[in-house]
Every structure is written in structure tokens, then in C-alpha cells.
Amino acid sequence: MAFHGSARPAVCGNLFPAADLGHKYFCVNSSGSTAACSGLNGSQNPAGPSQPAETPRHPATVGGSTGGGAAVPQPHSSPASEVPCPAEMEPDRPIGYGAFGVVWSVTDPRDGRKVALKKMPNVFQNLVSCKRVFRELRMLCFFKHDNVLSALDILQPPQIDCFEEIYVITELMQSDLHKVIVSPQPLTTDHIKVFLYQILRGLKYLHSAGILHRDIKPGNLLVNSNCLLKICDFGLARVEEPDSSRHMTQEVVTQYYRAPEVLMGSRHYGSAIDIWSVGCIFAELLGRRILFQAQSPIQQLDLITDLLGTPPLTAMASACEGARAHILRGPHKPPSLSVLYMLSDGATHEAVHLLCRMLVFDPAKRISGSDALSHPYLDEGRLRYHTCMCKCCYSVPSGRVYTRDFEPAAERPFSHSYEESMLSVWQGKELIHRFITEHQQGKRVPLCINPQSAAFKSFIRSTAWHSSKVSRKEER
């Protein structure tokens, strides 16, 4: 089930195919200094593949059936275990911009693999920015899940007086779900089920760790041609707030995927906002178009009520007065959920039933990620994923050996108690510098940026351009 056009285009040689073409993008730093290295001899020390955390077993049943007529996902092959030959390697280049950073595709000189390098700029502008970046960094190092992007490495920081930005290396994925949706690539029911299953599987893990993503959208769902999916971009993520009296920022989630409670000015929300976003993406996968595409937040709310009908007062209990008044002064709207069957031929009764459980106006009545995974619509997606795509199960001559837990929760909640000790930007800088240094101990030969690299200069320019365009308000 490879995507059409998924093969990488041919390029006229690698950006750094030989030493005589200039400085490398990275320095392999074994001495602790940040000076440019003259060679890469003895630097290769690739980390071995991670082993499944749990002992697998044969399940009594997985659920669903193999179906018929549709292509089956190709067997999973981890990009991290493949070293491309020079003819297949693309030049270092920008591949995306997150909520608060720029991402490049670069080559790791230690093993020749293409990886994603994310720069987190302007880290120490103020205490809010410092806490936000440290939170994202710790999350990326905390995650241990096949459907959630995590940090492979962090580049060695300079002396603390010169420490201004952070560089994180993650796995390089081939595309994202937005590009797939708007492409001519056919999406079968099996594609949709496998994608939706992985999104919810990753979200269950995040929510069990107490983490709200707060920006789930197709562009933040990375995919490979074998349909493996990973949730990325945690620039807006935060720990769930148990105290409902504590106000949370409303400057979250791209508008088309924003839950009604956020649109209506609720000062407190929970993991249900991520489920709403998944529902919007589910409908977009079925119909190949954005479900609620409005020009303003007010119009966005109007489109939602056109579909779901006028909500009861109990569903607007946390809304601000202006939003509640806007809903009440308009004409009463009946629900028109039957139009969801018109999204595509794939909008079956099971699909629409699950979609309607996600697109519920009242967050208290919206389905959870765990319950959504138990819906019969996802049985085939679970079967296909664990039959040939996952790392938690494996094949033996006698058959397939399955893991004990198909959708594992986090082993422990993500803690943000460290933020209590960050009372100043300098304290934050010291904490982050110490965290990165300790994270690198006993691991691979550390990398640092070579500022003399021509690619680095382009990287800096693209970062500066992006920073001038970003006008988001940061959470207090």
C-alpha cells in the first residue's frame, strides 16, 4: 500500500559527497569542544534497534477480518535501520515549520542516515518561552511509543554563556497526512482505518501520560509510504490541568480543528479537545476536504452548529457570555448529521457512528481515545497494523506472535514539577543545559553544529524568516 510518488526524486549528487566540497553541516565532537572537525574517522557508533518492552503472545482473537479487494499495508520497515546509499540521499533542506521552530532534513555523519533536525530558536527570550521549550524538549525525550515522534538525539550545547538555541534530532518521515489528503493518491477504507487507528493509539498514550497535544491536525501527523504514522510537533502541548479554576490559554489548535469549547472561550478544557480534532481529521480522510473550513472563529462555530444543531445550555456551561449569546440569538438549528453519509462511499454506518461520537458539542459527552479504540470500525485497522506494521509484534515460522497490550498506556505520567524551580531565565538556561548534558552521557558520540557550513547559513536564514512570520501568543 505504498503511496504513489513516494519515491524520493533523483538529485544531482549529495550536498556534501566528499570532503573537498567544503565544511560538513555537523561536527562529530568527541572532545567536548565546538570547533569544526576535520574528519569523521572513528565516529560511527549507531544505536541499536530498541527491543519490545513487553513479552508478546498469541492473542485469542484480534478482531475484524482481512477484508477483500483493498491493498494491505506493506510490512513495516523502520527507516532508522536503513542507511541510504549516496545516490538516494537528498541535499540538506527545510522540510517544515512547527509551532515554534523550523525542521530540516539532514544527514547524520555518524551513520549516513537522513534524519530530521529541529531548531528551537529564541529559547531564552523570556521565562514563558524558556518553560515552553523545556517542556517540549523533555516530552520528546520522555516519549516511548511507535506512533509518537520522539528525540533520537540532542546536539551538544556550547558553553552556557553562548547557549541560545536547541537542536533536536528525530526520525525523518517521508510525508504528512495533509499532503496525502490533498494529493491524487487514492485512499481506501483500509488506509483510513489504519491511519485513524494509529492516531488514536498515539493519543491514548499521550493522554494516559497526562499530556494534551492541543494542535492535532493533518500536518502534524507524519506518515511513511508503508502507512506508519507518528504524531509530531509538541510546541503547544502541555500537561492536563486538574484544577478547573486555573485558566488555560485559548490560543491553541489550528482553527479548522478547534473544539467548540475552545471556540466559545472556555478557560479550562481537557483531552476532549484532541478527540474533536481527530474527528475533524477522520471526516477529512473520508471526504478529502476540510469539514469545517471557515474564515473566522465565529463562522467556524456557525458551521459546527449547522451540522450538530443548536447545543443545549448544559453544553455551553463553560462558554463566555459573548459566545453563548451569539448561539442563543440565532435561529434554532436541528442536527443534520445525516449529511456525513455523503462524505464518500467509505462513510458507512460504522464510520459515521464513530465520527458522531467524536464530533459531540459537549466535551463531557465526547468519546475518549480509549473508548474510540474499542469501536468495531477500528477492528480491521488494529488487525492490519499489528499483522505487518508494528514493532511490538513479530513473526515466527509458526505464525504471528502478538503483544499483550495492543494500545499501551504510558508507564508513568509526565511530570512538570521541574517548572516550579524555574524562577528566572538564567535558572531555566542552567536547567536546560544540565538536562541536555546529562541526557548525552554514555550515549553516542555527540554532534554539534558546524557554523562554517554553507547549509547552516541557509538554515539560519530560513529560521530567521520563519521567526519573523510567527505571531502566536505564548501561554502564560
**What are the sequence ranges of the domains in the chain?**
93-171+417-475, 175-401
Pick the catalytic residue from 108, 146, 153, 215.
215
Average pLDDT over residues 452-462: 67
Under 8 Å CB-to-CB from 318, ≥6 apart: which residues? 261, 264, 266, 267, 268
pLDDT digits (tens, 9 = 90+) for 437-448: 888 776 778 888
pLDDT in tens, 131-156: 888 999 999 999 999 999 999 999 88
Catalytic (active site) residue 20: no
Whether the predicted pLDDT of 430 surpasses 50: yes
Same fold, 93-171+417-475 and 175-401: no
Cα–Cα distance between 406 and 430 in angstroms, integer? Answer: 40
Is pLDDT of 33 > 70?
no
How big is the chain by its Cα radius of gyration, in Å?
23
- Tens digits of per-residue pLDDT, 88-102? 445 566 676 655 667
- pLDDT band for position 462 (cuts 50, 70, 90): low
**Nearest-5° Cα angle at 306, 308 to 373:** 35
Domain boundaries 93-171+417-475, corresponding CATH code: 3.30.200.20
Residues 6+ apart with CB under 8 A from 52: 391, 392, 394, 403
Burial class (CB in 10 A: 0-12, 13-18, 19+), 375: middle
Pairing of strands 175-176, 166-171: unpaired
In the chain, the percentage of residues whose pLDDT exceeds 90 is: 44
Secondary structure class of 168 (helix, strand, coil)? strand
Which has more confidence, 341 or 73? 341
Give the model's confidence band at 111: pLDDT under 50 very low, under 70 low, under 90 confident, else very high. confident
Let me know the angle formed at the C-alpha of 272 by 271 and 276, rounded to the nearest 5 degrees: 130
Inter-residue contact 232 to 198 (CB < 8 Å) = no
Which residue is it, cell 477522520?
282
Of 283, 428, 265, give the one whose Cα is nearest residue 355. Answer: 283
For 41-54, what is the mean pLDDT?
A: 36
CATH 1.10.510.10 assigned to 175-401 = yes
Of the chain, the percentage scoring pLDDT greater than 70 comes to: 73
Band (pLDDT 50/70/90 cuts) for residue 106 is confident
Q: Tell whether the model's pLDDT for residue 1 goes beyond 60.
A: no
Tens digits of per-residue pLDDT, 177-230?
999 999 998 899 999 999 999 999 999 999 999 999 999 999 999 999 999 999
Give residues with Cβ within 8 angstroms of 218, minimum separation 6.
Answer: 176, 177, 178, 180, 181, 281, 284
| 391 is an annotated ligand-binding site residue | no
Give residue-wise pLDDT tens across range 232-260: 989 889 988 887 777 777 677 788 999 99
**Contact (Cβ atoms closer than 8 angstroms) between residue 261 and residue 274:** no
Q: What is the mean pLDDT of residues 327-351?
A: 92
Residue 250 confidence (pLDDT) = 67
Q: How many helices (H) and strands (E) does the chain have?
A: 12, 14
Return the residue matching grid coordinates 541510504.
Answer: 84
Residues 363-415 have pLDDT tens digits of 999 999 999 999 999 999 999 999 989 999 999 999 899 999 999 999 999 98
Give pLDDT, residue 416.
80
Average pLDDT in the chain: 78
The set of cell numbers assigned to 236 is 503547544
- H or E segment to which residue 322 belongs: helix 321-329
